[in-house]
A and B are shown apart, each in its own frame.
Chain A
Amino acid sequence: MTAAGAPDPDEALVARVGRGDPAAAQMLVSRKLPRMLALAARMLGDKGEAEDVAQEAMLKAWKQAPVWKPGVAKFDTWLHRVALNLCYDRLRRRREQPMATPPEQVDTGPAPDRGLMAADTGRRVGMALAALPERQREAVVLCHYQELGNIEAASLMEISVEALESLLSRGRRALRVALADLAQGGKL
């Protein structure tokens, strides 16, 4: 159980990882690496940077596992904070050293199940998300894509639930405006 009273679904697995159990490490990678990769990709809009962030976050998880104290916070929440810190480091560096070329847009490669129209919609959404102010993007990514609860997301962002809702509302409004032509064209 965490301090908030909710059980941590990762607690037992992290303990096994800390003891050097290779099967547990594989399972934690399966559970968390895609999640951290998705978080970073949507925050940064760049697949290569997202992979670096996800890898670095997992390396911090390996260091944390042997000394992890159950009951203080959920491991997933802590890992999100680590990955978000890494994302903000990179966003800060981008502001300080503007790049000659924009970051490569997230491209998941060939996907025969998705048609060209869906791929185009995905690209448009990626661009609209990248155009949001960072805090609005973070709120949308945490709540919509990472499916965190409002209390957990607000705690991660160190803001009130009311402030989170304000960021979400403004972010979603901006996204709706940016993607309005897709809805009108029946592409959604």
Chain B
Amino acid sequence: MTKTRFEALAQAYGGDVTRWPEVERDAALRLLAAQPRLARTVLAPALTLDMALDALPAPAADADLRARVLAAAPKARAATPWRRWIAGAGVGLTLASACAAGVAVVASAARPSADDRRADAVLIDASVDVPAADPSAQDQT
């Protein structure tokens, strides 16, 4: 690693080498061992800024906010007698198939917002090397 690259990494990622890109850490530490003054001339100023940034605390999630979020969490569906009867009669499978077809029709007709498409893009990007994955089914919110 060159000194220029070492400086660029400190400028971008700060003065803590353990937070630098993993693939460059070993080389950076070797350079640091060979040129220890880099700790003072390059890392120290970057660490000063890191400490300043850390002085900005994040607000705490208060109890009301937690309660509002938790109130909307998915609930387990209780097994009612009629649902057991439907499942036992095999009708459940038929209904599930019909519902799945309906969902597919609705999903294909839905027009996701641009923001949702960007969120989907995260999934699509991540699945490029996984042919078996079906990212289009991931998020329809």
Contact = CB atoms under 8 A, between A and B. Distances in A.
Per DSSP, are chain A's interface residues mostly helix, strand or loop, or mixed? helix
A108 interface: yes
A78 B53 contact: no
Contacts of A129: 53, 56
Nearest to B74: A20
A125 B52 contact: yes
A37 B58 contact: yes
Contacts of B127: 3, 72-73
Interface string B70-112: 1011111100000000000000000000000000000000000
Contact of B59 (A41, A64, A88): A41
Interface string B122-139: 110111111001110111
Interface residues of B, number: 55
Interface residues of A, number: 82
B135 A158 contact: no
Nearest to A70: B133
Given A65-B74, A68-B138, A78 B123 contact: yes
A26 B53 CA distance: 30
Contact of B126 (A2, A88, A172): A2
A129 B55 CA distance: 12
Contact of B129 (A3, A21, A188): A3
Contact of A169 (B8, B119, B141): B8
A150 B53 CA distance: 18
B51 to A, nearest CB: 5
A12 interface: no
Nearest to A34: B61
B53 A169 contact: no
A13 interface: no
B34 interface: no
A182 B55 CA distance: 12
Q: Could you say which of A4, A50, A72, A129 has the most chain B C-beta atoms within 10 Å of its C-beta?
A: A72
A62 B14 contact: no
Interface in B29-57: 45-46, 48-53, 55-57
Given A38-B58, A106-B59, A155-B122, A165 B8 contact: yes
6 nearest CB pairs, A to B: A20-B76, A38-B58, A25-B73, A73-B126, A85-B115, A168-B12
27 contacts: A3-B126, A3-B127, A19-B76, A20-B74, A20-B77, A22-B73, A37-B65, A38-B59, A41-B59, A42-B58, A51-B61, A54-B69, A58-B72, A64-B141, A67-B138, A73-B126, A81-B121, A85-B118, A121-B52, A122-B56, A143-B12, A151-B21, A161-B21, A168-B12, A172-B46, A172-B49, A188-B48
